[in-house]
Amino acid sequence: MKRIISVLAALIAGAALAPQDSSAAEKAAPNAASTYPNKAIRLIVPFPPGGGTDLVSRILQPAVTAALGQQILIDNRGGAQGTSGTAIGAKANPDGYTLIIAEIGATAVAPWMYDKVPFDVARDFAPITMLIEQPYIVSVHPTVPAKTLADFIKLAAAKPNGYNYGSGNVTAHLAQEVFYQTAKLKLTHIPYRGSGPAMTAALGGEVQTLFSGPGAAIPQIRAGKIRALAVTTAKRTRELPDIATLDEQGFKGFAISGWYGLMAPAGTPQPIITQLNSVFTKILSGSDAAKQLSDRGYDPTPMAPEAFGKFMLAEYQRWGKAVKAAGVKATE
């Protein structure tokens, strides 16, 4: 089990980064961005409405529309832990008019949990930028008589498979599975098609606990509809400063953060990639949209395209090790 924790702990550290193939970009017409954009742009969100990817996209949507002078049309394509929508984006015309939210689960975790996915992370996408990083928040339904994480562990240990835990993406699933293995607990996993439906289930008491992103969790915590017990990042989140990390509560080295990014189909002209990176970097670096994200517990984290591409591949490789160590397979 120490091996599993060490693998997960390594996910927050720096990594040796692989170079990207820029041959498609080099073949792009030099004036590809001169008239871009001249029509609406589709943004594929590979999860249902109501989850973190959807929320971040809708916060950014008005600012990006204003900056580009064209509508950003959000297209929610949930299914198969985000891989269905991601695959649709991979096969789209590489003209800059289809963009895809790159989500840690769909691009770095799920490809290892399925026997096969219909895209190749290294080959089929042109990275644009990181958007945000986020903690996962460990919470329980108020009917669970646990005020602390230690309380909940005692309750769950006394009642094997007596509590349900929910997940709306493979990252939350994997993180919880490893945590419960480490704590020597047995809970029943109930999967959902996105973090929005998972949170709805938690609010209704269908599941008693879950790991969820701040966008879905913090409003419900503040409203008293769920109770926060821990955060999964190395440091406490500024939005919940009184909630201790898992590391602080005895699970040394257990530190995981999620992230969302932006990418286009491979072969999208480099001038368009550069233009989009510039627009999103400016928005994420001090706009009202950036403040809204921060207020929701997200950390805006823009990157240059090459840096984000290297980061995404490094995450893919690291989570592959974590999946193999935990022995977890997708349930959808």
Cβ pair 172, 321 in contact under 8 A: no
Nearest to 41 by CA among 259, 272, 293, 300: 272
Question: Is the pLDDT at 36 greater than 70, yes or no?
Answer: yes
> What pLDDT shows up at residue 6?
53
Mean pLDDT computed over 241-249: 96
* CB neighbourhood size of 291 (10 A): 12
pLDDT for the residue numbered 81: 87
pLDDT band at 9 (very low <50, low <70, confident <90, very high): very low
Identity of the amino acid at 233: T
pLDDT tens, residue by residue, 168-196: 888 888 899 989 999 999 999 999 888 88
pLDDT in tens, 284-327: 998 999 999 999 999 999 999 999 999 999 999 999 998 888 88
Topology of the domain comprising 137-231: D-Maltodextrin-Binding Protein; domain 2 (3.40.190)
In this chain, the answer to whether the domains covering 13-135+258-326 and 137-231 adopt an identical fold is: yes
**Confidence grade of residue 258 (pLDDT, cut at 50, 70, 90):** very high
**Percentage of the chain surpassing pLDDT 70?**
89
Domain positions in the chain are: 13-135+258-326, 137-231
DSSP letter for each residue of 276-331: HHHHHHHHHTTSHHHHHHHHTT-EE----HHHHHHHHHHHHHHHHHHHHHHT----
**Phi and psi, residue 315, nearest 5°:** -65, -40
Q: Are 74 and 43 in contact (CB under 8 A)?
A: yes
- Out of 3.40.190.150, 3.30.420.40, 3.30.1200.10, 3.40.440.10, the CATH code matching 13-135+258-326 is 3.40.190.150
Task: Let me know the angle formed at the C-alpha of 263 by 132 and 60, rounded to the nearest 5 degrees.
Answer: 45
Mean pLDDT of 188-210: 92
